Amino acid sequence: MDNQGYYAILKVSQKANFQEIKKSYRRLAKKYHPDRNKSPNAEETIKKINQAFEILSDRKKRKQYDLEASNIFDAKDSNYEENLSHQKERNPHDLIKAESKSNLGCDNLLFRYYKK
């Protein structure tokens, strides 16, 4: 998925209900349909939109997708802990700089620093 989640592709929140997902899907499908949009990546974009809608519109598939996404985050989180334990200096400001691109946030980083 090119590091884009299905929610980001459809431009909806993870708490979006079926009606919101469907409305966003229809709006994006109209906008990126290859017959209407002549950009070179329109066909690829509409395929991503269709795939995202297929998953998020089905309750079972959406639940499985959300579960897998949370498992991926947990795995990244455990790797983060492992990498942190190997550092010699544990200056919280250095940790924040090093992990500024992470999704963990500064508060979580400081908590992890002072927890140990």
Reduce the DSSP state of residue 101 to 3 states and report it: coil
Task: List the domain boundaries for the chain.
Answer: 1-57, 63-116
- Interatomic CA distance for residues 49 and 88, integer angstroms: 45
What is the three-state SS of 14-50? Answer: CCCCHHHHHHHHHHHHHHHCCCCCCCCCHHHHHHHHH
Whether residue 96 is predicted with pLDDT greater than 70 in this model: the reply is no
Q: What is the mean pLDDT of residues 3-20?
A: 89
CATH class of the region 1-57: mainly alpha
Q: For residue range 23-69, what is the model confidence (pLDDT) as tens digits?
A: 999 999 999 998 999 998 999 999 999 999 999 999 999 999 998 88
User: What is the value of pTM for the model shown?
Assistant: 0.59
Whether residue 1 is predicted with pLDDT greater than 60 in this model: the reply is no
CA angle 34, 39, 22 (to 5 degrees): 50
Amino acid (1-letter code) at residue 48 = K
Q: For residue range 63-88, what is the model confidence (pLDDT) as tens digits?
A: 999 988 877 655 555 555 555 555 44
